[in-house]
Amino acid sequence: MTVKYVYAFSEGNAGMKELMGGKGANLAEMTKIGINVPPGFTITTEACNQFQGTGEILDGTWKQVLKAIKKLETQTDKGLGDSKNPLLLSVRSGAPVSMPGMMDTVLNLGLNTETVKGMIEKTNNERFVYDSYRRFIHMFSNVVLGLPHSSFDDILDKSKADAGVELDSELNADQLKKLVDDYKVIVKNSGLEWPDDPIMQLRLSIEAVFKSWDLKRARVYREANGISHNLGTAVNVQSMVFGNMGQNSGTGVTFSRNPSTGENKIYGEYLMNAQGEDVVAGIRTPLPISDMEKALPDIYKKFWDIVDRCEKHYGDMQDMEFTIEEGELYILQTRTGKRTASAAIKIAVDMVIEGIIPREEALMRIEPSALNQLLHKRLDLSGGEKEAAIGLPASPGAAAGEAVFNADEAQRMKEEEGKDVILVSPETSPEDIHGMIASEGILTSRGGMTSHAAVVARGMGKPCICGCGDLKIGKGECYIDDLVIKEGDWVTLDGTTGKVYKGQVPTIDPEMTSEFKVFMNWADSISRMTVKTNAEVPSDVQVAKDFGAEGIGLARTEHMFFGEDRLPWMRRMVLASTPEERQKALDQLLPMQRQDFEEIFTIMDGLPVIIRLLDPPLHEFLPKDSDEIKELSKALDIPVKTIEEAIENQHEFNPMLGFRGCRLGIMYPEINAMQARAIFEAGLAVQEKGVKPIIQVEIPLIGKLEEFRMINNIIKDVACDMNIAGKLDYQIGTMIEVPRAALTADEIAVEVDFMSFGTNDLTQMTCGLSRDDAGKFLGKYVEKEIYDRDPFESIDQTGVGLLMKICVDKARKIKPDMEIGICGEHGGEPESVKFCHRIGINDVSCSPYRVPIAKLAAAQAVIEERMK
């Protein structure tokens, strides 16, 4: 049996991509469903692979090609090389995986001195024919004969200069005819033979496309994109159609629905007596596709029908190219159309309602991170603004404001002058919170995606760009190369792309459509995981709840201690030299902390709230510069020297692994006792008001069961002392962020009520990477593909993820139904969320603005699981 190397479009279908390439299979599919595609055939990837071995087209293959040509001649009623009614062909590559621009194409094949005459006679358009001919000679000479582009371009330029015109299209028929002659001289002078015989032209063109598979640029592209060198490319030979054959010819591009809004109405443009490139070149203004209804009612009706058929057939919005040749409509290409995020949601929801796709399909259509576009402002770059610098896209959204270089000034400008400001700083610390709150966005020169600025900004839903290395910050001004930005100068940030603009770029507000709500409801109904939020500031908690957060997965109590009314007492607590002094300061903090919890419980009425006890090293609460120390000394009536000694004493080499988390409570039990009391008192207080608090107390940085046990006892002692049994329920659980805790999860599970992965710290410790310092080399790591992605952005599944799986498996052995969550930054990153689902985690928690993203990812995880 002979192997079949050539398939007419009518013999293939969309499932044959591997053999026919993407383009060939798609042309075949359209042909199959009866859409008028210019006829043609595909030479398979197998033929290409065979060619790579031998460097020649086998006789058998060539015979099949000739047979296909014969069939094509019959079908089109034209003849290859026929001087009266010549068949012109396009010869295009088409690999199983798209490799845009990497391989070669020959158009207008079949033209020679004879057929040119026939074409002129037939079209009565000498200019068109000579234009096609000179393009063919140039293309063929370059692709097949290997002559450089420059030889042809030089002559073309000279020809335009001689004619006194600027554009190719301004050359008239005679000038083009002269150009053809000049082109032929180049070929002749090269000593290469010019094939006038269209069959020879075809054979050489096919060989050239096969050869282009093995060109260096194609190999490099495949290596960079992980595409196998063994796939091979198919070759598509298709009869040419022309939209520029007269007033009953034309060409156009259309989307089956509006790609900006998603509206179910075809959307596109067309131009009569024109070729595709004319539409693109913008010399003539194309008409909206709706005009065609009046101008060409029959064709329009036919076209509408095809668009509808294609959309239904592919089950998605289509981006289509068509040509009308002398009144006959041909579809040249149909593919899934690109669209904005809001259009994507509307289209997906509409298609479910229209019965075109099931809900699951709709949910899978949207890339979760694309929701960022919907939830945040974005820039209107129609003015063509160019960025001044690029940093890390640390928190999405767009904002413009006047640059300000410290937190106090930011607050002053906002509050006293009502100005929009952008806080620009080398990095931020918890003490800058008030300035961050006052700012529209934050720009830092240091720090990564999980730096303080990034984490806090994401929590607040404010745009933030971090680690902008080109930015140098001086006194009251900053520099980007030669550009100086002074305090008060306008700056615009696009936190979604990391681009920084000088000046004020207009922004576009997000909108929450009814389709978005429907879509998110579908996601909720499918997903198995609960999505909570990391928030503690009441306004953030409210935002998260509005976004559908089903509770708080992480309320960081330390963030509550930086307020103006609290920090002095917190510092007194840290500087206390006796337990009594410490207790005195804690007594002052207790009612404030209780107030915080009351607000949170009230907003999250009936939903679970995980409150993490004090976590950071105490030195984070101490002042850093000498002015502040002096001020503090005065305020607290403690000698400067004592404060300096305390700061020196609190200094740590590796604070991440130092005196923090549960270790604070083990050394100073009264801190956790105060917090437990504040939580319980708040719980009782809101209960009085008819609110239902669901309390989960979380102990940070547990490495050993014994640590948990000690803090657990402190909390239970407070509960016992307050006699809340039977009056107020609560659970006590632990963060899992120390590798040791994950490894010994079976021991720890025995005594905890719930677990929650702190994947930021877990990643730091498991991978030995300090997130504050890794910026120096992590870029290089990702670039060199040591890590596929920044492990602080997306969970390192094979390393950190393995440890998480060990933990979940061990814990579930002891308590099969225990709540195990994740509250690191990864909780809002789609791949990480899906991974959590796969290893059996129940809860993910993320910053408020990421809640919808996590929800969609959680739903997709279920669907992906079902598809397996």
DSSP 232-300: --EEEEEE---TTSSTT-EEEEEESS-TTT--SS-EEEEEES--HHHHHHTSSPPEEGGGHHHHSHHHH
Q: Which contacts qualify for 142-148: CB closer than 8 Å, 24 or more apart?
A: 143/104, 143/105, 143/106, 143/205, 143/208, 143/212, 144/106, 144/201, 144/204, 144/205, 144/207, 144/208, 145/187, 145/190, 145/192, 147/186, 147/187, 147/190, 147/192
The reply to whether 216 sits near a copy of itself by the rule CB under 8 A is: no
Q: Which stretch binds a copy of itself (CB under 8 A): 283-291, 565-573, 592-600, 735-743?
A: 735-743
Query: What would the x/- binding string for a copy of itself be over residues 702 to 721, using CB under 8 A?
Result: -xx-xx--x-----------
772 near a copy of itself, rule: CB under 8 A: yes
SS (H, E, C) 10-31: HHCCHHHHHHHHHHHHHHHHHH
Under the binding rule (CB under 8 A), the answer on residue 302 touching a copy of itself is no
Query: Is residue 58 at the binding interface for a copy of itself, with CB under 8 A as the rule?
Result: no
Binding window for a copy of itself (CB under 8 A); candidates: 186-194, 674-682, 696-704, 834-842: 696-704
Which one of the spans 414-422, 554-562, 567-575, 647-655 is the region binding a copy of itself (CB under 8 A)?
A: 647-655
Task: Give the nearer residue to a copy of itself in terms of CB position, either 261 or 770.
Answer: 770
CA distances in angstroms from 404 to 428, 476, 479, 494, 801, listed in the order given: 13, 8, 13, 17, 41
Asked if 309 interacts with a copy of itself (CB under 8 A), we say no
CB contact burial 532-549 (16+ within 10 A = b; e otherwise): bbbbbbeebbbbbbebbb
Closer residue to a copy of itself (CB): 252 or 700: 700
Closest separation between CB of residue 393 and a copy of itself, Å?
Answer: 22
Q: Please report how many Cα atoms fall inside a 13 Å half-sphere around the Cα of residue 18, on the Cβ side.
A: 3
Among residues 131, 536, 761, 825, the one that binds a copy of itself under rule CB under 8 A: 761
Can you tell me the distance from the alpha carbon of 697 to that of 593, in angstroms, rounded to the nearest whole number? 14
Other CB atoms within 10 Å distance of the CB of residue 288 = 11
The smaller minimum CB distance to a copy of itself, of residues 276 and 739, is found at 739
Residue given tokens 């060619």 in the structure block: 51
Residue number, 66 or 743, with CB nearest to a copy of itself: 743
Q: Which of residues 665-694 bind a copy of itself (CB under 8 A)?
A: 666-667
User: Cβ 222 to a copy of itself, closest distance in Å?
Assistant: 21
Query: Which of 652, 717, 809, 865 touches a copy of itself by CB under 8 A?
Result: 652
Interface pattern 790-829 for a copy of itself (x via CB under 8 A) = ------x-xxx-xx--------------------------
Cβ-proximal residues to 341 (8 Å cutoff; 6+ apart), any chain: 366, 370, 371, 372, 373, 374
* 192 DSSP 8-state letter: P
In the annotation, is 452 catalytic?
yes
The reply to whether 276 sits near a copy of itself by the rule CB under 8 A is: no
Interface with a copy of itself by CB under 8 A: which range of 268-276, 318-326, 460-468, 767-775? 767-775
Give the nearer residue to a copy of itself in terms of CB position, either 529 or 711: 711
| Minimum distance of a copy of itself from residue 639's CB (angstroms) | 17
Q: Which stretch binds a copy of itself (CB under 8 A): 457-465, 473-481, 622-630, 731-739?
A: 731-739
Q: Tell me which residue has tokens 């006293």.
A: 416
Does an H or E element contain 767, and which? helix 759-767
Check binding of 780 to a copy of itself (CB under 8 A).
Answer: yes
Q: What is the spatial distance between Cα 428 and Cα 437, in angstroms, rounded to a whole number?
A: 12
- Smallest gap from residue 620 Cβ to a copy of itself (A): 11
**DSSP result, 134-188:** HHHHHHHHHHTT---HHHHHHHHHHHHHHHT-SSGGG--HHHHHHHHHHHHHHHH
Residue 138 is a catalytic residue: no
The residue within the footprint of a copy of itself, chosen from 184, 412, 663, 815 (CB under 8 A), is: 663
Q: How far apart are CA 274 and CA 284, in angstroms?
A: 9
- Which member of 14, 767, 818, 863 binds a copy of itself (CB under 8 A)? 767
Residue 764 binds to a copy of itself (criterion: CB under 8 A): yes
Q: Does 644 bind a copy of itself (CB under 8 A)?
A: no
Q: Binding to a copy of itself by residue 430, rule CB under 8 A? A: no
Nearer to a copy of itself among residue 571 and residue 619 (C-beta) = 619
Locus of tokens 């790609």: 259
Whole-angstrom distance, CA of residue 463 vs CA of residue 394: 8
Report d(CA 858, CA 833) in Å as an integer: 6
CB neighbour list of residue 692: distance below 8 Å, 6 or more residues apart: 605, 606
Choose which of 554, 774, 823, 861 interacts with a copy of itself (CB under 8 A): 774
The residue type of 472 is K
Decide if 365 contacts 262 (C-beta within 8 A). Answer: no
DSSP string, 449-471: TTSHHHHHHHHHT--EEE--TTE
Among 195, 623, 658, 669, binds a copy of itself (CB under 8 A): 658
Binding residue for a copy of itself, selected from 590, 636, 657, 722, defined by CB under 8 A? 657
Among 194, 490, 562, 659, binds a copy of itself (CB under 8 A): 659
Phi, psi dihedrals of residue 553, rounded to the nearest 5°: -90, -15
Q: Catalytic one among 138, 376, 452, 619?
A: 452
Do the beta carbons of residue 821 and residue 842 sit within 8 Å?
yes
Question: Least separation, in Å, of the C-beta of 446 and a copy of itself?
Answer: 10
How far apart (Å, rounded) are the C-alpha atoms in residues 6 and 40?
10
Task: Tell me if 744 contacts a copy of itself by CB under 8 A.
Answer: yes
Q: How far is the CB of 611 from a copy of itself (least distance, A)?
A: 21
Angle between helix 198-212 and 59-76 (nearest 10): 120
Of 150 and 653, which has the nearer Cβ to a copy of itself? 653
777: contact with a copy of itself by CB under 8 A: yes
Q: How many residues in the shown chain lie near a copy of itself by CB under 8 A?
A: 50
| Among 48, 464, 823, 836, the one annotated catalytic | 823
Q: How far is the CB of 702 from a copy of itself (least distance, A)?
A: 9
DSSP state at residue 337: P
Distance of closest approach, residue 457 Cβ to a copy of itself, in angstroms: 19
Whole-angstrom distance, CA of residue 362 vs CA of residue 349: 7
Rounded to a whole number of angstroms, the minimum distance from the CB of residue 471 to a copy of itself is: 15
Residue ranges that bind a copy of itself, judged by CB under 8 A? 652-659, 661, 663, 666-667, 701, 703-704, 706-707, 710, 737-740, 743-744, 747, 761, 764-770, 772-774, 776-777, 780-781, 784-787, 796, 798-800, 802-803
Give the residue numbers annotated as catalytic, written as ranges: 452, 823
